[in-house]
Amino acid sequence: MADLAGAYADARRRLQQLVAGLDDTGLMAPVPACPDWTVRDIVAHLAGIAEEVVSGTYFAGAADAWNDAGLAAQRDQWTASQVRSRRDRPMSVMLAEWADAAAALEPILAGAVPRPPGSPAWLPSAPVADLAVHLHDVRGAIGQPGDRDAPATGLGLRIYARWLGERLDQASLPALRLRAGEPEWVEGSGQPAVALAAEPFELFRAISGRRSVDQVRALAWDSDPEPFLDVLSPYPMPAAPLVE
């Protein structure tokens, strides 16, 4: 069984160490993977996610927003409110808030405490995958690549791949064979029609909306990728290439 709690705690420590070494200019650096946000905004969002999972107010429509414009708009308003409500809080306060929420969140991720009533079954994996994505978003913003072997990075790939399989099924598309270096597996139902190969980090970033359409097309597909481009990422792909 995946150690969601351990991976989350480890990634939170890594990100907090990163931001602790930044001055105000670094904290206000724009994040290329999230053009409307700064590094500081990413931390505000992560603190908000932890708090809302614990309180049972996590946006349950997040998993279906990929193909529903109304839900996507609600999701964007939800995450924007996390940032906006913390706009005037010092970084030290936000980090303390995040730590307090994480102390309640991590037992939920470990399965030691039930998730809040009414929460979707997929909820425990969501904050881990989200943190993994944003850890690398911040590293990209400050020009310090790393943590590609962090537990959350590997789990993030698997969680986003499983979500990709669900989207393939919902879109009535054939299964995909994914090759992330040596490991390979199938997502979706039935016999895979196409194989997609990439190094684990590149595959993770591609299926989590951090690569442009042209970058995705340039990956190692063994057949036509076009039928899969609309579902490969659950979020809009960046207009320009994102190189990390």
> Which pLDDT tens digit goes with each residue over 210-242?
999 999 999 999 999 999 999 999 999 999 999
Q: What per-residue confidence (pLDDT) applies to 56?
A: 94
**106-149 per-position pLDDT tens digit:** 999 999 999 999 899 999 999 999 999 999 999 999 999 999 99
Contacts of 159 by beta carbon, 8 Å cutoff, 6+ apart: 125, 126, 128, 129
Indicate the pairing of strand 34-38 with strand 30-31: antiparallel
**160-188 per-position pLDDT tens digit:** 999 999 999 999 999 999 999 989 999 99
The residues of the chain that CATH labels 3.30.1050 are 151-232
Q: What per-residue confidence (pLDDT) applies to 2?
A: 84
Query: 4 near 125, Cβ under 8 Å?
Result: yes
Mean pLDDT of 67-72: 97
**75-105 per-position pLDDT tens digit:** 999 999 999 999 999 999 999 999 999 999 9
Q: What per-residue confidence (pLDDT) applies to 10?
A: 98
Straight-line distance from the first to the last Cα atom of the chain, in angstroms, rounded to the nearest whole number: 31
Contacts of 48 by beta carbon, 8 Å cutoff, 6+ apart: 79, 81, 82, 83, 85, 86
- The amino acid occupying position 87 is R
State the pTM of this model.
0.96
Domain 151-232: top CATH class? alpha beta
- The average confidence (pLDDT) of the chain is 96
Sheet hosting strand 220-221, strand order edge to edge: 184-187, 175-180, 192-198, 220-221
Mean pLDDT of 11-22: 96
Q: What per-residue confidence (pLDDT) applies to 1?
A: 56
Q: How far apart are CA 76 and CA 206, in angstroms?
A: 20
Q: What per-residue confidence (pLDDT) applies to 122?
A: 93
